[in-house]
Amino acid sequence: MNQKFLIIALCGLLSGCASQAQFNSNLGKVLDGIQKSGGALTEGDIARGLKEALTVGIGNGSAEASKVDGYFKNELIKIVVPPEAQKVAETLRKMGLGSEVDKFTLSLNRAAEDAAKKSKPIFVKAITSMTITDAVGILKGEDDAATQYLKRTTNQELFSTFFPVVDSTLNLNKATQYYADLVKTYNQIPLVKKVNPNLKEYATQKTIDGLYVLIAQEEKKIRKDPVARVSDLLKRVFSQTGK
């Protein structure tokens, strides 16, 4: 069986399956064909396979982050009170205002979940722009090489895209008002050092950082997990590149 045909077929599978069961069934057939076909993968084949695998991982990470409680109930990426305002939160809890702090924290995470919905096209653009040299370097690189590549190529555009969404959602959820009220209450306490960190910039960057955490998890699955999507193919790809 022609090896390039198999790689192209695999790419079609990743984007066109109606269900996980269908994906697994069709993927198994394609992988069987690849194993039987023999021969070395070209760098072009490696790049195409990696791009498709990363696109699947991006889709998984984006979907996880953008669902309700995607941030709020995931302790790895949950957005908490800005570091500069931690003392504010601690002091207000001691004053019996913990529920106000909790409402503010929930609103922060709802803004992140809303903004994350717009992340996938930006990541996919970075993946499709990846050169063969980039792809081979990622395969031979560290376990988070793909995530680091995406950080270099997407952070600025994600920030520009996310900022107005976060701003709008923070206002809609009254997080901006909650924050202003919390800071105002704290700043009225005698002898405390006044605080007023930039909430919107903080929430926007933390939203982006959370996505990179989820993408790194997906990358780890692709590289290490024997039952992860396309990991059988990538295992073979890594063996071809000395990884």
Residue 25 lies in a domain: no
CB atoms within 10 A of CB 138: 24
User: How far is 94 from 83, CA to CA, in rounded Å?
Assistant: 18
Contact 172, 115 (CB under 8 A): no
User: How far is 44 from 38, CA to CA, in rounded Å?
Assistant: 16
Residue 120 lies in a domain: yes
Residue 57 lies in a domain: no
Residue 85 lies in a domain: yes
Q: What is the average per-residue pLDDT within 84-112?
A: 84
Whose structure tokens read 């520009």? 160
Residue 17 lies in a domain: no
Domain that holds residue 190: 66-228
pLDDT digits (tens, 9 = 90+) for 161-199: 999 998 888 888 777 777 777 777 777 877 667 766 678
| Domain tally, the chain | 1
pLDDT digits (tens, 9 = 90+) for 59-82: 889 999 999 999 999 999 999 988
User: How far is 87 from 207, CA to CA, in rounded Å?
Assistant: 22
16 vs 86, more confident = 86
| H or E stretch at 159 | helix 145-172
Instruction: Kindly report the pTM of this predicted structure.
Output: 0.72
Terminal alpha carbon distance of the chain? 26
Whether 113 shows a pLDDT value over 80: the answer reads yes
Whether 19 shows a pLDDT value over 80: the answer reads no
User: How far is 47 from 130, CA to CA, in rounded Å?
Assistant: 8
Please tell me the predicted confidence (pLDDT) of residue 232: 54
